[in-house]
Amino acid sequence: MTSVIELISPAAEAEPRAVASEDWRRFEGYVGEIFTALGMDLSAPGTRETPHRFLQALRDATAGYDGDPKLRTVFASERPPAVDGSHSQIIEGPIVFHALCEHHALPFFGVAHIGYIAGPEIIGISKLTRLVRLYARRFTVQERLGEQVADLLEELVRPRGVAVRLEAAHLCTQMRGVAEHESRTVTTFWRGLYDERAELRAEFMAEIGSRR
Ligand SMILES: [Zn+2]
């Protein structure tokens, strides 16, 4: 029988951010000043609202700080807990994500692959996507993003092992100076059984390699 587990995670339950409208208007003024100084003509029909749209886009791109109440429920696995020896992996991905690097506030984006070895609970692909986006839609770095996804997945489903692999392109390096157009940064995190067993890591890598 499948049961629903209610879980309250501080990360998922964050209060939506509030910015007073007078502050927002002031910010639009600052952004307009910066864009003008950098060369934008704010008097054209296409750019007049650009500071407003820019801030709105920035707010949307960082919506992870608002939390995600839909991450509250996970479903208990139907798999009998007594079945042992079956260290079968649940592997999901690619999950597309977009984040802002905290060093330059410019986007880095790519795909996440997540693997776990189920303990008492499982979690659906849509929740895993939400989990990745909860932390990706912030000012962050790729290493922390991977750690946070692994941490919350452990908290949500108490798995026996977690693997998180992120592969991303960073616009802060690609748009400026050394133009390394094709470079990708890969980070991988292993927890629990994945940390202990090389064959699980190999299986995970082979599986996601076949999906890319
Ligand atoms: Zn950067």
pLDDT at 205: 96
| Distance in angstroms (rounded) separating the CA atoms of residues 108 and 96 | 11
Q: So what's the pLDDT on residue 16?
A: 83
Cα(30) to centroid(ligand 1), Å: 22
Question: How close is the Cα of 101 to the center of ligand 1, in Å?
Answer: 5
Nearest-angstrom CA–CA distance, 72 and 69: 6
Residues of the chain with pLDDT under 70: 1-13, 72-87, 177-181, 212
Burial class (CB in 10 A: 0-12, 13-18, 19+), 89: middle
Element housing 69 (H / E): none
- Write out pLDDT tens, residues 70-127: 886 666 655 555 445 456 889 999 999 999 999 999 999 999 999 999 887 888 888 9
Q: Ligand 1 centroid vs 152 CA: distance in angstroms? A: 24
What is the percent of the chain where pLDDT is above 90? Answer: 66
CA of 171 to the centre of ligand 1 (A): 7
Distance 181 CA to ligand 1 centre (A): 15
Q: How far, in Å, from the CA of 45 to the mean position of ligand 1? A: 32
For residues 86 and 200, the answer to whether their CB atoms sit within 8 Å is no
Centre of ligand 1 to C-alpha 165, Å, is: 19
This prediction has a pTM of: 0.86
* CA nearest neighbour of 74 among 26, 7, 168: 7
Ligand 1 centroid–CA 149 distance in Å is 20
83: burial class by Cβ within 10 Å (0-12, 13-18, 19+)? Answer: exposed
Distance CA 60, CA 174 (A): 23
From ligand 1's centre to the CA of 177, what distance in Å?
13
- Cα(140)–Cα(128) distance, integer angstroms: 18
Q: 83-211 adopts what CATH topology? A: GTP Cyclohydrolase I, domain 2 (3.30.1130)
Domain with CATH 3.30.1130.10 in the chain: 83-211
For ligand 1, the distance from its centroid to the CA atom of residue 100, given in whole angstroms, is: 8
